[in-house]
Copies of this chain bind each other. A is one copy, B any other.
Amino acid sequence: MQEPIRNSEYKYRVEVCFVPGQYPLYAQDMGIVVVIDVLRATSAMVAAFEHGVERIIPVGTIEEARQYIGRPGYIAAAERNGEVVEGFSYGNSPLAYVGKDLRGQTIVMTTTNGTKAINLAKNANKLVIGSFLNLSALSEWLVKQNENVLLLCSGWKDKFNLEDSVYAGAVMERLLASGKFGVEEDSSIAAKYMYMAARDNFLSILKAAPRRRRIEQLHLLPDAKYCLTPDQSRVIPILREGELVRMESVTA
């Protein structure tokens, strides 16, 4: 077993919480929470901003999202169990936004896991959105901050999920490499091991048989490939008064 982490001296902590239900156990002293739902909500959010969307309002229920169907300037998106909810044109597929000009639009989105995790952590000092699409941009920004960072995996229906954990390990590796961050939690060490096993080929995550079967059943392979391709965007979505916006629009 390689020793994943050598950090006796550090200023800030970066830790991983594997499932939303454990968030209260890990949230203490965490200035920044990164919400992660690689397949597919947080990937879709970054893709939407990359294609011009102005803000994304995460909501808890399908009913809240439904009120925005057909309203000018709004895109209503709802996903449950991996499928677009009946009556909606958008679910959580990032490819639905690719190639479109969505400047000025507002998305109202509810998903099985991702928007739930956002809602759970909405009182964090800073809540930002992570995905492979913005891996480098997000990691570079995190390294510049002077705060503890919690990487919050959305999981799958409150259960542990492999791709979110691998992504958390990828962000962690970059933060540890800065020399400014260290870890204390076993979950963080485990995420690092996950990432070390997957780093040469993120798509290999899909090779694990049961998961591949589920993805094939849902016809998600093009989506999954897109969601696992790093560094397609420099956008970092950040939560401001219940709405996700581009960070540059806040700091500018």
Contact = CB atoms under 8 A, between A and B. Distances in A.
B2 A197 contact: yes
Interface in A164-193: 165, 182-187, 189-190, 193
A234 to B, nearest CB: 27
Contact of A189 (B156, B189, B208): B208
Contacts of A162: 186, 189-190
Nearest to A187: B160
Interface of A: 1-8, 18-19, 21-22, 25-26, 156-162, 165, 182-187, 189-190, 193-194, 196-198, 200-201, 204-205, 207-211
Select the residue from A4, A160, A162 with max chain B CB neighbours within 10 A.
Answer: A160
Contacts of A3: 204, 207-209
Given A5-B208, A19-B22, 9 more contacts: A1-B198, A5-B210, A8-B209, A156-B186, A162-B186, A182-B210, A186-B210, A189-B208, A190-B194
